[in-house]
A and B are shown apart, each in its own frame.
Chain A
Amino acid sequence: MITIENVTKRYGAFTAVDDVSFVAQPGRVTGFLGPNGAGKSTSMRIMVGLTPADRGTATIGGIAYRDIPNPGRHVGVLLDASAQHAGRRGREVLALGAQLMGLPERRVDEMLELVGLNEAESKRRLKNYSLGMRQRLGIAHALLGDPSVLILDEPANGLDPAGIRWMRGLLAHFAGRGGTVLLSSHLLHEVEMIADDMVLIGRGKIVAQGTKEELLRGKGSYVAALDPAALVQALQSAGIASKPSGNGLHTEAETVDVGRAAAAAGVVLTELRGADGAGLEDLFLQLTSDDQRDVLIEGATA
């Protein structure tokens, strides 16, 4: 379990991480979602002690990362797959890690096989690795010490769709055995595919968190009736605001309240369901457009 409490990090006048609190639970994959520059990487560096926080605490399994004896055996960390010596061979990167953690050499072979790097690839120097291969090597490095907690910063970056599917299976299996996984991404779709829980961050602040189902369910409901005018009337008299959406209406009320209002007025419904996860996507796009001008320009010309 990873517990972050009231963590704040400032760089001069800029607040990179602003009073962030959340918990990544064991047995679940927690997606840490936000646009580039939202504070994900800074938060993750704070968790493992690479960046000192100005305020707040980050603990793993109840203690500070630096107090964990031989932390590689408990916490697998991948913060930047490209942060490796360009002149070192892939296999050697893992062998160094294994030696430091006190693991047998065969562990290196097991991990290479697990992430699908063959012998020829493992003998190449890092400068000849594609980003996807670096990510695989980085994931192998994170898993070397058979940890119970994984902290992965943008692990899907550079992986092809098959690679992303492979990683999803790997992480689901890891969480299924009781492990804690925290992974960051700037792509909602990616996190949606992999995560059980989600934490949304924008401009250093947590803007939403919960299970994927909770967050994707969205607010309000969608309703359609045989007689749309009568439905509007019925909702109005029940004090429920509505606006046209497709062939029906979108309301801010829960489905049960909409159904009750329709029944009271004797309106025949043809459709009634909870609204789609558009709310989360809207929220995320809003976060993104606040921070990224190019998205606005793209939107204007599209």
Chain B
Amino acid sequence: MTTTSPAADPRVQFADTSRVSLSTLVQVEMRKMVDTRAGMWLLIIIGVVTAAIVVIFSLVADRNDRTFMNFMSITGSPQGFLLPVLGILLITQEWGQRTGMVTFTLEPHRGRVLWSKVIAAVLFGLAAVVVAMIVAALATLVCGGDDPWTTLGLDDVGKFALLQVSGVIGGMAFGLLFLNSAAAIVVSYVLPTAFTIVSSLWHWLNKIQAWVDLGTSQGPLFDSDNLTGKEWAQLGTSTLLWVVIPFAIGMWRVLRAEVK
């Protein structure tokens, strides 16, 4: 048996095709999130819960509290809870449902697939923010208090978007780390919460809590005041710890792992 050079096999014309573009990969990843019941329901629930919490808030809040910013902020908690699940599912469905065998065969450069998933996740996160803004705007128009738009600033919207996008990417990081929906969902909720509790009780950790605990360092993002330099730094270190590092480890693992 002899080895043959590429030119010796005229039937395979690799020059005919160029590699799959990143925008195609992103579109396919977004489609994969909406073309199954699980994915579609998650998106519907995010939308419904966003609308529901705004309606509830508009019924119970004092007239003066019914501002656009408050309406939008109130959606932060349910969205912040659900968006990481979206990030997790974007990753883990490839393993749980074993579609990774097809995905990584059609695009063998796994890094490109994963980055296109990150872009898809960011787009979903931003879409959730836009939905929150639309619902909040409608609520403000219908039942806003006196002068409800005053506290509105572009920086506030930016902070809100930052929060949600880091949440969805944090979910992806845990998804990459565990490659299993159940484990990733449980750990991504339980671990940070447990960490918050431990760090508020344990004196030594308590001193550095704002630097290492995402729940604490993200607090200022909800305020209308701008973050101080120190607060930005704290947000940076805790995001590094809870989002960037798990993501990097998970990515490193997936790029080398066997896909079965």
Contact = CB atoms under 8 A, between A and B. Distances in A.
Contact of B18 (A63, A69, A85): A69
B109 A66 contact: yes
B16 A73 contact: yes
A52 B259 CA distance: 9
Interface string A93-133: 00011011110000000000000000000000000000000
Interface string A57-70: 00011110110111
Instruction: Among B5, B12, B97, find the residue whose CB has the most chain A CB atoms closer than 10 A.
Output: B12
Contacts of A65: 108
Given A100-B24, A100-B107, A1 B4 contact: yes
B11 A26 contact: yes
Given A80-B101, A83-B99, A88-B35, A51 B258 contact: yes
Contact of A63 (B3, B6, B258): B6
Contacts of B7: 62
Nearest to B256: A52
A61 B6 contact: yes
Contacts of A83: 97-102
Given A72-B106, A99-B31, A61 B9 contact: yes
Interface string A146-163: 001100000000000000
Interface residues of A, number: 50
Contacts of A45: 258-260
Nearest to B19: A69
Contacts of B24: 99-100, 102
Interface string A30-53: 000000000000000100111110
Interface in B1-39: 1, 3-9, 11-14, 16-20, 24-25, 27-28, 31-32, 35-38
A131 B163 CA distance: 45
Instruction: Among B9, B19, B105, B258, find the residue whose CB has the most chain A CB atoms closer than 10 A.
Output: B105
A183 interface: no
Contact of A68 (B14, B27, B37, B38): B14
B57 interface: no
A69 B14 contact: yes
Interface string B42-54: 0000000000000
Contact of A74 (B14, B18, B38, B104): B14
Contacts of B199: none
B105 A79 contact: yes
Nearest to B101: A83
Contacts of B256: 52
A141 B92 CA distance: 22
Contacts of A202: none
Contacts of B98: 80, 82-84
The 7 closest A-B pairs by CB, nearest first: A62-B6, A61-B12, A83-B98, A87-B36, A66-B108, A70-B17, A85-B97
Given A100-B20, A102-B24, 15 more contacts: A26-B9, A45-B258, A49-B104, A49-B105, A52-B256, A52-B258, A62-B12, A70-B18, A70-B19, A71-B105, A74-B14, A83-B100, A85-B99, A87-B97, A89-B35
